[in-house]
Structure 1
Amino acid sequence: MYEDFKVTDRWTGEQLHCQWKGTIVAIATRHADATDIRFAVNQRPVWIALPNLAWVEHKERTGYVITDYLAAQIAGRYLKQAIESGYDNGREMYTMTVDEVLEHADKVVHEVGHTTNLPSLPVINEDIRAEDEMGIHLPGEPA
């Protein structure tokens, strides 16, 4: 889905390869009330900041939490949309609003049907879930 995808830049026509690289809670790293999702866009680092308040709002509205897997997909979908629409101008960091996070979360979950269908991270092997490769499973996830 949106953890590893290719997209064409609206302005240059260049093919961009976007890959999820990591998720960091920005409270500690840059004293922000956000969670930063890092992507490599043709090897260039790009960060998408999701406000932590979105986790609270999402839980209140849906009864479900935003998982790490869902957060990566939300950020990736936002990044893809920014590149396709021409909003991407080569900045290193983009900040989403709470409403944008909620909108993208709804659309990602609608696309996959249920959060258990989201790709697991990190992507070690496209044919094997990371949990299976590493021999670990999170509580509440199917083994």
Structure 2
Amino acid sequence: MYEDFHVTDRWSGEDLHCSWKANIVAIATRHADAVDVRFNVNGKPMWIALPCTAWLEQKQRSGKVITDQLAVQIAGRHLKQLIEDGYDAGREIYVVSVPEVLTHLDAIVAEGREQGGLPLLPVGV
């Protein structure tokens, strides 16, 4: 779904290939309470920062956790939406709010049900 996709840039009309590269706990790298999900967008690094409080909120509201696989899907869906809405291509990192994370999560779960499950993440990328 959103670990490897193509999207058209709103302003340039350019086809952008977005591919997931890694999930990194930002506490160690940026001293931020977030999980940074890295994508390459036509070879250029792009980071989507998901706040760790979204994990707590999801656990409280449903009793279920956000897995690494779901985090990638959430970040990828957010990235796709950013590009379609006309994102600032000069930025390397975008921070997602807790409500946005949960909205994307709900949409992904619904999409996954329609498609028979979420795709597996590639190993050793």
Q: TM-score, normalised by structure 1?
A: 0.82
Q: Which residue of 1 aligns with 2:104?
A: 104
Alpha-carbon distance in structure 2 between the residues aligned to 1:75 and 1:14: 21
Amino acid at match of 2:72: A
Aligned-pair distance for 1:89? 3.0
Question: What displacement does 1:17 show?
Answer: 0.1
Partner of 1:84: 84
Change (3 A) 1:61 1:84: same
SS in 2 for 1:122: coil
Partner of 2:8: 8
- The CA deviation at 1:121 is 1.4
Q: Which has the larger radius of gyration?
A: 1
**Equivalent residue number for residue 75 of structure 2:** 75
The 3-state SS of whatever aligns with 2:36 is strand
State the Cα RMSD in Å.
1.7
d(CA) in 1 for partners of 2:65, 2:103: 14
5+ residue gaps, structure 2, are: none
What code does the residue aligned with 1:2 have? Answer: Y
Partner of 2:65, secondary structure, is coil
How far apart, CA to CA, are the structure 2 residues paired with 1:88 and 1:113? Answer: 32
Larger RCO: Structure 1 or Structure 2 (Cα < 8 Å, ≥ 6 residues apart)?
2
Give aligned pairs, total: 124
Aligned-residue identity in percent: 66
Q: Residue 131 of structure 1 corresponds to which residue in structure 2? A: none
Cα distance change on mapping 1:123 and 1:88 into 2, 3 Å: farther
TM-score, normalization by structure 2? 0.94
Provide runs of 4+ in structure 1 moved above 4 Å: none
